[in-house]
Amino acid sequence: MRITIENIAPAFHPFIDEIESGNGDVGIWLKEGYVFTTTGAACTFFTYDDYRNSRYPEYQLEQAIDKCLADELIQITVGAWQKQSQPNDENIVSLNPAKLFRSGIPK
């Protein structure tokens, strides 16, 4: 499986800095000022093995990445991002930078 920016929902393209597809996983790296709420990190990884046994493994992985971005992508101040500070009320700029309906990506 190989995931590229074309596999990701267009609403998230402006926020993605890099996608690394390795032998066992895919890493999503966000641009400066954007993080995932669960970890407060600017990157997250998906393991291919979690999707290999599904009927449509590449499609399932793409959907998982889109859902993660819909649920977790937030914007924080650049200063907080550069210091790798955890998101909090003082440094969150937008809880919904992709301007999605809260239902996110259709299942």
Is residue 60 predicted with pLDDT exceeding 50?
yes
More confident residue, 6 or 1: 6
pLDDT digits (tens, 9 = 90+) for 85-103: 999 999 999 998 988 765 5
pLDDT band at 107 (very low <50, low <70, confident <90, very high): very low
For 87, the domain range is: 15-94
Query: If 0-12 CB within 10 Å is exposed, 13-18 middle and 19+ buried, where does residue 98 land?
Result: buried
* Domain assignment present for 103: no
* Domain assignment present for 46: yes
- Please count the structural domains in the chain: 1
* Domain assignment present for 5: no
What predicted TM-score, i.e. pTM, was given to this entire model?
A: 0.87
pLDDT digits (tens, 9 = 90+) for 45-55: 999 989 888 88
